[in-house]
Amino acid sequence: MISLKEVSKKFSTKQGTIIAVDDVNLQIEQGEIFGIIGYSGAGKSTLIRLLNGLEKPTSGKIIVNNEDITSINEDKLRQIRHKVSMIFQHFNLLWSRTIAENIAFPLEIAGMPKEQRAARVKELLELVGLDGRGNYYPSQLSGGQKQRVGIARALANRPEVLLCDEATSALDPETTDSILDLLVSINEKLGLTIVLITHEMQVIQKICNRVAVMEGGRVVEEGDVLEVFQNPQQPITKRFVSQVSESSQAKQTIQNLVDLYPNGKLIKLVFVGEQTEQPILSRLIKQFDLEVNIVQGNISHTKSGAFGTLILQLDGEALAIDEGIRFIHEQKVHTEVINND
């Protein structure tokens, strides 16, 4: 559906050249929800704007829907933008138009006759749960409702790709959830490919199939969301994963236990899918002479399955602890010792 080959984007400023996107290769499949996560300044905003030609790459190839958008003219690019639409962090609605007129705007641009526009707008208002609000102005809506209008507007010309530029970053957690649910439902209902950028791991966890982690303009890690959660490689990815799997309160508890039991060992177990159903803990306690203390437990649900973390304190003979850890390893549960380094 979308492929990027050795794509770079440089900006020249008075302070010198800034490399916003640095040699990025990506392959995004039809119908998937692909997330790009990174802190601000990582280049993700520029990257997503390369996908609909709002920014032109300095080098590299971008293929969208079998069309090389780096080599086509403006007319053709405008046609492609009907099929690759975008929603924004700050919604970017026209305040001078009603909700219905905002949604009709891309239809006007595409040259749809007036009667057909009205019918299509009605359909879209229902799809995003705003029926009856057509005559309101954007200033009369809440943030979540505005984003629903943004989504309806983006879907108007029946696109094949939806680009989401920090679409939930300006919304409160509850509204974020409802917008994410809406995105998942249109992804399933319409078979739409969704590419989203965010700095919130919760968003990736909740709706993405695959994720790319960006830092300094580069994609430093990429893969299925579940795999990345289970086994993050880069320090930045670990930081993002810990955003959702460890609360700061739990970290405090760990510190307390480290202080209380300087001789014990704290280990972190990561379970994926069916592993969560095996009685590993009770076997561990029965087979080895160990005191086992559960410090923290957590199960996160991602779009492709559940994954859990468990932090245990093992106390006892050093030999027994080592054997216990080896036992857990044999159960193919990812294990990590987090103190007494």
Footprint of another protein on 150-169 (CB under 8 A): 153, 157
Span interacting with another protein, options 63-71, 90-98, 203-211, 263-271, rule CB under 8 A: 90-98
- Cβ atoms within 10 A of the Cβ of 227, count? 15
Cβ distance to another protein smaller for residue 55 or 323: 55
Footprint of another protein on 94-123 (CB under 8 A): 94-97, 105-106, 108-110
Cβ distance to another protein smaller for residue 111 or 173: 111
Cβ distance to another protein smaller for residue 137 or 261: 137
Q: Is 90 in the site for another protein (CB under 8 A)?
A: yes
Residue choice 79, 116, 247, 340 for contact with another protein (CB under 8 A): 79
- In whole angstroms, the minimum distance from the beta carbon of 130 to another protein comes to 17
Span interacting with another protein, options 61-69, 78-86, 179-187, 214-222, rule CB under 8 A: 78-86
Amino acid at residue number 33? I
Cβ distance to another protein smaller for residue 38 or 138: 138
Q: Is 92 in the site for another protein (CB under 8 A)?
A: yes
Beta-sheet pairing, 161-165 with 193-198: parallel
Residue choice 2, 93, 124, 269 for contact with another protein (CB under 8 A): 93
- In sequence order, what are the residues at sequence separation of 6 or more whose Cβ sits closer than 8 angstroms to the Cβ of residue 132? 125
DSSP state of 277: G
Cα–Cα distance for residue pair 299/311, rounded to 1 Å: 12
Cβ distance to another protein smaller for residue 80 or 130: 80
Footprint of another protein on 123-142 (CB under 8 A): 137-139
Alpha carbon distance, N-terminus to C-terminus of the chain: 46
- In whole angstroms, the minimum distance from the beta carbon of 265 to another protein comes to 52
CA 317 to chain centre: 43
Q: Is 81 in the site for another protein (CB under 8 A)?
A: yes
Residue choice 45, 46, 85, 302 for contact with another protein (CB under 8 A): 85
- In sequence order, what are the residues at sequence separation of 6 or more whose Cβ sits closer than 8 angstroms to the Cβ of residue 169? 89, 198, 199, 200
Cβ distance to another protein smaller for residue 36 or 321: 36
- Give CA angle at 7 (207, 48), nearest 5°: 35
Select from 139, 137, 130, 132 the least CA-distant residue to 102.
Answer: 137
Q: Is 52 in the site for another protein (CB under 8 A)?
A: yes
- In whole angstroms, the minimum distance from the beta carbon of 335 to another protein comes to 47
- Cβ atoms within 10 A of the Cβ of 255, count? 11
Question: Is residue 340 classed exposed, middle or buried when 0-12, 13-18 and 19+ CB atoms within 10 A define those classes?
Answer: exposed
- Give CA angle at 16 (11, 20), nearest 5°: 35
Binding site for another protein (CB under 8 A): 52, 54, 77-82, 85-86, 88, 90, 92-97, 105-106, 108-110, 137-139, 153, 157
